[in-house]
Structure 1
Amino acid sequence: MAAMPDSHGSYEVFLRVARDGSFTAAARHLGYTQSAVSRQVQALEEEWGTALFDRLPRGVRLTEAGRVLLPHAEGVRERLRAARAELASLRSLGGGTLRIGAFAAANVSLVPRALAAFGDRYPGVTVVHSEGPSAKHAALLAEGGLDLAVLSTPAGIALPGPELHHLLDEPMYVALPRGHRYAGRAVLHLPELADEDWIEGDVRPDRTLLAPALAAGFVPRVVFRVNDWTAKQGFVAAGLGITVLPELAAGAVRPDIVLVPVDPADLPCRKVYAGTPRGLRHSPAVGAFLSLLRSAAGRPEPAGGIRPPVR
């Protein structure tokens, strides 16, 4: 014998009795006992405070109140069926929405590779993507505005709030004009670049990728404030200065500049994570995208003209 229906299932019982005109026939179709069906109908009548069926010598028929309730009960059933279908689609990654964010350098190749693989495997899931600084996206994770974010932080600097899943350690390069006197070097030390003009995202070095080097006394002379990676390369190629370029941004390098690794003792690798809301269970979409991010992080795209970093 089937289990007793829940409170929502009582509307299924009501609809079946209305259709069959009999508690006995409804019980047979539903797989319940006749007494269980009778109790469900009685409970529904008590909930609404009125009789829903007239009990006849042979079977039952809807009262006026029952006829009023009938289309609403049908609507409840259809909405629940739709909800079950949507939930099943979420579980199978056949639908739903995934909200992700990433910092700019991660959007050069890491995130697009993961997004392409995700789209191929789960075309029914809508992905909403935003670009911005890691601090902003960490806050959005805490507020429930994102499901996952690719975040970065300098080595040794904590990123409080989200649950962090390590993806990679990102070496740093110095971008130089191709004719620069250091363009042929295998590695560079920051003190060698003390007299250079720098192009960074902020005139304050403590807000740039050079911030970890400040404690050792290195103070760059920032002459141009440029945020976009492509624009920075243009400034470098024109001989207006040099800049630090993270490895994730090195997949799209102009042919007229050269990237030389910075000694990690001078500028440690940057930590890159996937962040998710702390303490919450991952949705199937988050779990799938996180797995694809890890795969993408383990297969860095080769970039021409980049010397291997010193680790």
Structure 2
Amino acid sequence: MAAMPDQHEFPEVSTVWLRVFLEVARHGSFTGAARTLGWTQSAVSRQISSLEGALGGAALFDRLPRGVRLSEAGRVLVPYAEAVAEALHGAVRELAALREVAGGRLRFGAFATADAGLVPQALAAFRARHPRVHVTREEGFTPVLLDRLSAGHLDLAVVSTTGRAPLEAYELHHLLDERLYVAVPAAHPLARHEGPVRLSRLADADWISGGSRPEGTLLDAALRQGFRPRVVHVVGEWTAKQGYVAAGLGVALVPALAAASVRPDIRLVPVLDEGGPARAVYAATARGRSLTPAGVEFLGALRESAVTVTSRTMA
């Protein structure tokens, strides 16, 4: 009897051979298998011989005067061949579901103010169209989201240019350009101002910002207009910033994406855009890494949401 391959070896077995093997086992003859497969009997015989050779030469069938019968080795192989066939069928089903966005997963992240309106609207539309896709979401600052994207933990990230993170390594899908507003207390002289204002009118104001330095924050806009704002309170969370403004402790810059959630005891005054928009918002993907079908569909939903948000908050 020929020796079986060493247990540590991985035999090179064609899935075609396994398919032919299962058909022969099911029909009990090379002729029946050949008819089902649309092959010649000799072709079926060659596939079985090749499989037997790859598995160490053990006969998988006893040749009878009429047909064949599984040998002991053949009976051992059947459940393994069936498991391989079922695994391949499962892979084909899952791949088809991915193509049709009827399954799979979507992992994305977004910065905080994008979560105020842009992302929820897009996610609601996506979930309505593709309810079987498993969605996970993260919130964070742009540099952190880009690091997560590079590491393969996210498929897509909604980011902005404010964070001064290097964007050259990513594919950027433009969503919108944000107008800036300055938030002032209801009793502030600018609260009754008609039309946009230059930030230079607030050069002597106390500012509330998410960082102690203007660079890399919305206050970059002030630097472009020739003055360095005096940051007196560092407040990261947007609703807390509103509380500080309402209490008269300073003024703050507000991006258009957050404008819809402003509290009634503060006022938003549009900033005169000199030198371009304060920031652009993108959906970023890793360069050289193909976006999944679910990701492509979500990107489309983000673009639709961006059109709606732009018309509502930045007209």
Fold-level match, TM-score > 0.5? yes
In the other structure, the counterpart of 2:59 is 51
**Higher alpha-carbon deviation: 104-113 or 235-244:** 235-244
Name the SS for the 2:188 alignment partner: coil
Q: Which amino acid aligns with 1:53?
A: F
| Residue 15 of structure 2, aligned match among 8, 31, 40 | 8
2:21 is aligned with 1:21? no
User: CA RMSD, aligned part only?
Assistant: 2.1
- Tell me the residue number matched to 1:94: 102
CA contact (8 A) 2:101 2:293 kept: yes
Larger displacement relative to structure 2 (114-123 or 190-199): 190-199
Q: Distance in 1 between matches of 2:122 and 2:82?
A: 43
Are 1:63 and 2:71 matched, yes or no?
A: yes
Q: Which runs of 5+ in 2 are unaligned?
A: 1-12
Unpaired stretches in structure 1, ≥5 consecutive residues: 1-5
The 5 Å alignment of 1:74-113 reads 74-113=82-121
Match for residue 129 of structure 1 among 127, 137, 148: 137
Over residues 115-143 of structure 1, what are the superposed CA-to-partner deviations in whole Å (9 max), with x where a residue is unaligned? Answer: 00000000000111101111122222222
Moved more, 142-151 or 116-125: 142-151
Does structure 2 retain, via aligned residues, the 8 Å contact 1:155–1:268? no
Shift of 1:281: 2.5
Task: Give me the whole-angstrom Cα distance separating, in 1, the residues matched to 2:212 and 2:302.
Answer: 33
Residue 8 of structure 2 aligns with which residue?
Answer: none
1:213 pairs with one of 222, 226, 237: 222
Displacement of 1:60: 1.2
The separation in 2 between residues aligned to 1:10 and 1:215, in whole angstroms, is 70
Contact 1:141 1:162 in 2 (8 A): no
Aligned partners of 1:45 and 1:52 also within 8 Å: yes
- Mapped contact 1:172–1:246 kept (Cα < 8 A): yes
Deviations for 1:244-264, whole angstroms, at most 9, x for unmatched residues? Answer: 000011121111111111111
What CA distance in whole angstroms lies between the structure 1 residues aligned with 2:60 and 2:168?
Answer: 58
Which of 255, 258, 262 matches 2:264? 255
**Normalized against structure 1, the TM-score is what?**
0.91
CA distance in 2, matches of 1:267, 1:243: 19
Match in the other structure for 1:38: 45
Contact 2:208–2:251 (Cα < 8 Å) also in 1: yes
Is the CA contact (8 Å cut-off) linking 1:172 and 1:267 kept in structure 2?
no
CA–CA separation in structure 1 for the residues paired with 2:265 and 2:43: 81
Deviation at 1:301, TM superposition (A): 7.0
Residues 1:8 and 1:93: Cα distance change in structure 2 (over 3 Å): same
Equivalent of 1:182 in 178, 186, 190: 190
> Within 2, Cα distance between the matches of 1:212 and 1:245?
11
Distance 1:230 1:155 in 2: 20
* Residue pairs, 1:163-178, within 5 angstroms: 163-178=171-186
Equivalent in the alignment of 1:203? 212
Aligned to 1:278: 287
CA distance in 2, matches of 1:239, 1:54: 93
* TM-score for the superposition, normalised by structure 2: 0.90
Q: Aligned to 1:274, what secondary structure does the other structure show? A: strand
Amino acid at match of 1:146: L
Name 2:239's counterpart in structure 1: 230
- Paired with 2:138 and 2:174, the residues of 1 have a C-alpha distance of 20
